Chain A
Amino acid sequence: MRRSRLLLSALALGAAITLQPQASFADYPDKPISFIVPFGAGGGFDQMVRVLVPKMEKHLGVAIAIKNNPGAGGRRGSILLYKSKPDGYTMGLNYFVPFLVDKHILGKKPGLDMEKVSVIYKTSHSRHFVFVAKNGPYKSLKDFTKADKSIKFPTTGIGASGWIAASALGAEMGFDSAFVTGYKTLSTAALAVARGDGDAGVGAIHHFGGFTNEVQPLVYLGAKREAHYPDVPTIAELGYPQLTALGAAHVLAAPPGTPEDRLEVLREAARKAARDPEFIAWGKETATDIEPTEPKGVWEEVEETGKMFSSLKPLFEKSKN
């Protein structure tokens, strides 16, 4: 009895294995998939991928190899992904922001044709806070607009995320933003705020969290309040919902021309992975907004961001004198 049951289940298993290829998705995927991360190992993007990928592997049934390809502010890796073979065995993160910066702010031809990118799915979005020194004169964002001088932001560089956020905020709310650039990371920029090199900073909790005695956040650049700082208002609450597109969207993509049925297989795996309890727990821990979004929503965001960036072009020209 027992043996026959064993035999039966073995048969069923065998049938399941042999029948698999006849399933609707043919035999894709049947070999490891490469995942290109356009940033170095250990950074924010990379960590997200390293948490997400095992969940995707579980649903796809094949290994996914992570390849870090950093350089040029995320451009190099995204371009490599763009140029890879569109057979469904190469996917990665496509970071749209630097290309939007090239197109709308730097006035440089982007290294890839953004519209052609095969968007798979957006899993999450890393957003920033605006913070000030505790002993400084600014107690709310409103105070920025009342100041009779420009608000000085220590940040990494012109065209980088901190500069974009502060410029966009100033443009929308009506205050002048000035910059002390050249800090290596947003964490060193946060130290600069704590030390008094400038008035205000832009960064995530892991950037300014070491200075909780010296700095305090004024606003979260998101739509929902961040769990670590439930008393800090969101930029949407303050009446600027368009600014929630700032920050780093984690968009999974594949090279242009990847067959739609294969994209759908990957998309389904991403959908499930983004809803995995462990992934959600990681989002809570690291203050990353988990935001499962279908391609349509991603394209809308890209367009919104592009529009916002175009309005920053005059500020960029001004900063170059």
Chain B
Amino acid sequence: MLDAMLLAGTRLADVSSILMILAGATMGVIFGALPGLGSVVALAIALPFTFGMDPMLAMFLYAGIMSSVTFGGSVPAILLNTPGTPPNAATCFDGYPMAQRGEGARAISISATSCFVGSVGGAVITIALLPAVKPIVFAFGPPEFFWLVAFGLVMIAFAAKGNMVKGLIGGGVGVMLSMIGFSDMFGAFRFTMGSDYLWDGIPLVPFVVGVFAVSELINYSSRGGSTATTDVSSQDMDWRHQTLQGVADVLKRPIVWMRSAAIGSGIGIIPGLGGGVAAFMSYVVGMQRTKEPELYGRGSVEGIIASETANDAKDGGALLPTVAFGIPGSPDTAILLGAFILHGLQPGPVLLRDNLDLVYALLFGIVVSQVATSGIGFLSAPLLARISVLKSRWIAPFVLTLVIVGTYMLRANILDVAAAITAGYIGYVLRRYGYPLITIAIGFILGPLAEKSFLQSMLISDGNFIIFYKEPISLILMILTLGTLAVPLVSAWRKRGQKKSREPAPTDRRPRGLFRGPIICAVLLAAAILAALFNAQTLPAEVQLMPVVFGTITLALLVLDIAGEVSPAVARWTAPALTDMWNNSSSGTDEAQAPERPAPWGPVLRVIAMIATYFLLVYTLGLYAVPVIAITAYLVFQAAVKLRYALLAAIISSVIVVISMQLLRVDVWTGVVSEIIPGYLGGAISPDL
């Protein structure tokens, strides 16, 4: 073991190794920062180049890429509310509010430091657990998996700040959306409405990018101003000081990052959970354990540490099952597995015996790459943070172009862009009426995992529930999950009567009447869920179980929600009662979710129409022709920029887009009109809807 470590260490002290790691780190940061692209694409592109390369050098390149992508992805999450990769979505909740306060550099620096401590922590934990990997991986079968995911779903109740009812509804909506698609477990099409596009369900990347980036784009474009609140200007900012402050922020909170690193690497080890679960789980656990829960979601330092540390620590953890059994713990280790095989290495006991040095090389590489990545982060934070004080009318067209190009590039599927925009529209309406995005995202990520692990357990035990508490680990996890759910209930019951004398509920001055936004929105949601419930009746019993259970609960909550909106008496009773129980916050209004008054519907609809027009133009005329014209037109007519500057900016950004697509060998979308200029305008084939 020590020999192997030494061997890997010696190889690391070599110029070509370091250069390889640096190349990987640079590539990783860029791929992470582009929404849509992530480590999977970066690794897949690097893969063929390493064919015939010294395996150790190749490992350094992969390690460089894997560990730097997460930091890269946090930068747009912080500055633009646009997660670069799905796990970075958990960074949006606090990174973006921090940038809005004018502390963009501090947030980026916190993220860079967290990523660093995360990968070091992850590597240390991984090395420590290497001998125990077999019992750990073998211990986590479907029943254990189920309780772990159930624990995550229970945490939705804690993540829902403000109005508990709306928070839980958000989780239910997320679960229901995740149920769409071909259920390969039982070979049935569920809620696909005959669409071939929905065969694989709503794809994760467009969904996350849409819900976060597009909905925020609508929000700030319709309101005007800049990402940072208007009283902040770049001159007042001491970006360098903020960067140092960010480092100190993390170092001062050892408990937070150690806990997050442990959660991250733990989840990484269990195959099939992935970075999204790691980041969100760590975030919600942090939210529950913190002394200052009211800061979460409003620019909490701890929130960024929780999400980014776990996200990076999971890379080390995910390596374990990959090298020990050839079972990838995350999508990027799946590619890594391909790389092992390409180099003639079969992961498994033999690899651990004969090629242990390669495993250490990967782990060391991850740490060294993180040093480089954090360096890039600290150097660039002061520069990048300036983006957040730019006027939103300047950045809006570029963010939208980034979203369109990013979601398109991942699978070269133009319909993914439509999916992202649709998800953004829905996300905007839901958050406007107080359904928190965090619970929607958790539900969407955990829903399918919960369903699979439950049904698998039942298939293994031939329908006997004993499987859920037969083994010690599942029993412990069950007690933990049910206990977490029960503790607030019990304490609320014990405190009954005491709280009667608390300050009277704030008088509700919202307008009355039945045809108000919140009520219409809730009624529409209820109608959609009702339709899903009816449709589910045609499905095989196993396939309808999960949507029926979650649909019914969500429907009941929606009835409560509507009743609360119609009658203030009901609202005073339900919302605060449930809310107080779980997160000790006294306010039952939507205030926590909507700190600012949303824009009137007029400007909002105009922005929505503009986004749709932009997409339709891209769809018909392609990515060569449209962005230049659209960005120029927007800048000239909406932002009053001089024509020549607008044109210059539009051309530069379009050239970057086209070059990056060509480097990635992605077919640049040329639009569905019949071919006008071969290869540039028209002639593209739209995928089946």
Contact = CB atoms under 8 A, between A and B. Distances in A.
Interface stretch (A2-10, A122-130, A169-177, A189-197): A189-197
Contacts of B564: none
Contact of A41 (B47, B142, B199, B327): B47
Contact of A182 (B45, B339, B456): B456
B324 interface: yes
Interface stretch (A135-143, A205-213, A292-300): A205-213
Given A47-B342, A181-B184, A197 B271 contact: no
Contact of A111 (B43, B44, B665, B688): B688
A315 B48 CA distance: 41
A72 B199 contact: yes
A281 to B, nearest CB: 10
B452 to A, nearest CB: 4
Nearest to A205: B346
A181 B667 CA distance: 36
Interface string B36-72: 0000110111011001000000000000000000000
A277 B254 CA distance: 56
Interface stretch (B159-167, B185-193, B298-306): B185-193
Query: Could you say which of A156, A190, A195, A205 has the most chain B C-beta atoms within 10 Å of its C-beta?
Result: A195
A50 B665 CA distance: 14
Contact of A80 (B40, B43, B200, B685): B685
Interface stretch (A11-19, A63-71, A246-254, A267-275): A63-71
A104 interface: no
Contacts of B687: 76, 79-80
A184 interface: yes
B48 A285 contact: no
A145 to B, nearest CB: 21
A187 B185 contact: no
Contacts of B41: 41
B187 A206 contact: no
Contact of A191 (B137, B199, B346, B349): B137
A180 interface: yes
Interface in B147-175: none
Contacts of A28: none
A42 interface: yes
A158 interface: yes
A182 B200 contact: no
B327 A111 contact: no
A51 B341 CA distance: 13
B384 interface: no
Interface in B662-689: 665-667, 683, 685, 687-688
B324 A210 contact: yes
A229 B493 CA distance: 65
A47 B51 CA distance: 11
Contacts, number: 158
Interface string A277-295: 0000000011000000000
B460 to A, nearest CB: 5
A71 B413 contact: yes
A111 B196 contact: yes
Contacts of B137: 191
B185 A181 contact: yes
B338 interface: yes
Interface string B634-651: 000000000000000000
A157 interface: yes
Interface in B251-275: 271-272
A148 B687 CA distance: 48
B187 A320 contact: yes
Contacts of B337: 187, 206
A41 B335 contact: yes
Interface string A17-49: 000000000000000001000001111001100
Given A42-B334, A187-B327, A212-B350, A72 B540 contact: no
Nearest to B451: A182
A232 interface: no
A84 interface: yes
A58 to B, nearest CB: 15
B13 interface: no
B463 interface: no
A310 interface: no
Contacts of B346: 205-206, 209-210
Interface in B179-234: 182, 184-188, 196, 199-200
B399 to A, nearest CB: 26
B47 A50 contact: yes
A257 to B, nearest CB: 14
A34 B667 contact: yes
B141 A195 contact: yes
Contact of B411 (A71, A79, A106): A71
A116 to B, nearest CB: 16
Contacts of A320: 186-188, 540
Contact of A181 (B43, B138, B348, B459): B459
Nearest to B346: A209
A182 B47 contact: no
Nearest to B352: A210
Contacts of B271: 184, 188, 191
B187 A158 contact: yes
A198 B40 contact: no
Interface string B540-561: 1100000000000000000000
A72 B460 CA distance: 27
Contact of B349 (A34, A66, A212): A212
Contact of B341 (A67, A79, A206): A206
Nearest to B188: A320
B326 interface: yes
Contacts of A76: 196, 199, 413, 687-688
B344 interface: yes
B138 A195 contact: yes
B412 interface: yes
B590 to A, nearest CB: 38
A65 B665 contact: yes
Contacts of A158: 184-187
B51 to A, nearest CB: 8
Interface in A59-97: 65-73, 75-76, 79-80, 83-85
B325 interface: yes
B426 to A, nearest CB: 22
B45 A41 contact: yes
Contacts of B411: 68-71
B295 to A, nearest CB: 36
A83 B196 CA distance: 15
A160 interface: yes
Contacts of A286: 341
A42 B334 CA distance: 8
Nearest to A106: B187
A320 B539 CA distance: 9
Nearest to B324: A210
A309 interface: no
Contacts of B185: 157-158, 181-182
B412 A69 contact: yes
Contacts of A181: 184-186, 456, 459
B568 interface: no
B328 interface: yes
Nearest to B686: A83
A239 to B, nearest CB: 30
Given A42-B47, A76-B199, A160-B184, 8 more contacts: A41-B335, A42-B40, A76-B687, A156-B184, A195-B138, A198-B460, A209-B346, A319-B187
29 contacts: A40-B40, A41-B47, A42-B40, A42-B339, A50-B48, A68-B411, A69-B412, A71-B200, A72-B200, A76-B688, A79-B688, A157-B187, A158-B185, A159-B184, A179-B459, A182-B185, A182-B455, A184-B271, A185-B327, A187-B326, A191-B137, A191-B271, A191-B325, A197-B141, A209-B346, A210-B325, A320-B186, A320-B188, A321-B541
The 9 A-B pairs at the shortest CB distance, nearest first, are namely A157-B184, A41-B44, A210-B325, A158-B187, A210-B326, A210-B348, A42-B335, A72-B199, A182-B452
